[in-house]
Amino acid sequence: MDVVIIGGGLAGLCAALDLRQRGHAVTLLERRSYPFHRVCGEYISNEVLPYLRRLGVAVAALQPAALSRFQLSSPAGRTLGVPLALGGFGVSRYQLDHYLYKLAEARGVDVRQGTTATDVAFDASQDRHHVTLADGSHLLARVVLGAYGKRSTLDRQLQRSFFQQRSPYLGVKYHLRYDQAKNLIALHNFADGYAGISAIEDDKYCFCYLTTRNNLKAYGTIPQLEQQVLARNPFLARIFQEAEFLYAQPEVINEISFAPKQAVEQHVLMCGDAAGLITPLCGNGMAMAIHGASLAADYAHAFLAGQYTRVALEAAYQRTWQRHFGPRLQVGRTVQNLFGRPVLSEVVVGSLRYWPAAVRALVRGTHGTAW
């Protein structure tokens, strides 16, 4: 076959749709079964709308929330706010991923749910990848895209450097009913972390936060952490007091790494979070995953059409990915260092509230433009 895509999140599904639209035979492997929840802020910048339209994705049919304002609060409750220049929309991954999966399947993508890839080996003599599945079967492909998210056992098999280091970060996500302006995405700081809340479809809100393993260890349980640490921020205290939490247990993910990654590993083209993860503080991970799918599909198509050798493909993709996303990731890592520490957060928010142009510049530094 032409392409195997490992991972059925936004990057994998959009790349599958793109490559199938160009006439390629595509198999997509997803270890879970749709629909399912993911730990994600569920905000997408409008920069990706032209591309989604080209793929035939009817975003309006998902009835997303339109987001146009940004608010940031310090742990003590100081706030600053700016309009979002491009704006964005909020939609749950539960709904969006399932929609994209159904669309891909209808377009002729071979989507294999409940299927795990355990090994990827490149055979230089055949110029092909051998993908081993958990049931012992194999797939042969000219191109493999790694779109399996933030962390996977495949990262160990591919001997990726970031996988050798433990990460202190964990993410927690809920869906809520809550009284907040529908067009607002709000980010609230607390000691060793920050939380975001914004509207999604069906009058619901996504509430997601990032903190550290040590912060959780100090308080023993997630409810105790929320009451003893997050609720010191008055905006977060109000959420815990007034919101209707729509499921009893949150979605939780550990070992979230923001360390630099390579966009090509052992001849596999990485995209989405597998290629590089922007800090959630910047709120642009979903748009980056979709944009990354576009780049991966462009280069995979050019290679399959004979426009690149394997060596030229990998070098060009690595350069282009770095040019598009490297500066955003660096800005994200820099900005993250300004928050999560109460005293520094108070100083930064207190200063930036009188300098809205600087806030807008930081937002621009982590977002792209429509393409």
Encode pLDDT of 6-57 as tens digits. 999 999 999 999 999 999 999 999 999 999 999 999 999 999 999 999 999 9
Rounded to the nearest 5°, which phi and psi values hold at 164? Answer: -80, -15
Q: What's the whole-model pTM score?
A: 0.91
On average, the pLDDT of the chain sits at 88
> CA end-to-end span of the chain, whole Å?
29
pLDDT tens readout for residues 323-334: 888 877 777 666
pLDDT at residue 246 in the model: 96
pLDDT tens readout for residues 70-112: 998 888 888 888 888 889 999 999 999 999 999 999 999 999 9
Read off the pLDDT band of 337 (50, 70, 90): low
Domain that holds residue 351: 3-366
- Measured CA distances, 341 to 169, 266, 309, 347 (Å): 15, 38, 48, 10
Q: How far apart are CA 174 and CA 349, in angstroms?
A: 26
Q: Do the domain assignments include residue 16?
A: yes
Provide CB contacts within 8 A for 223, sequence distance 6+: none
Rounded to the nearest 10 degrees, the angle between the axes of helix 342-352 and helix 356-366 is: 110
Q: Do the domain assignments include residue 277?
A: yes
Q: How many domains does the chain have?
A: 1
pLDDT at residue 329 in the model: 73
Q: Do the domain assignments include residue 201?
A: yes
Q: Which residue from 279, 232, 63, 27 is spatially nearest to 140, judged by alpha carbons?
A: 27
DSSP conformational letter for 133: E
Please provide the size of the chain in residues: 371
pLDDT tens readout for residues 313-322: 999 999 999 9
Rounded to the nearest 10 degrees, the angle between the axes of helix 93-106 and helix 10-21 is: 20
The proportion of the chain whose per-residue pLDDT surpasses 90, expressed as a percent, equals: 65
What CATH number is attached to the domain comprising 95? 3.50.50.60
Q: Do the domain assignments include residue 272?
A: yes
pLDDT at residue 141 in the model: 96
Q: Do the domain assignments include residue 371?
A: no
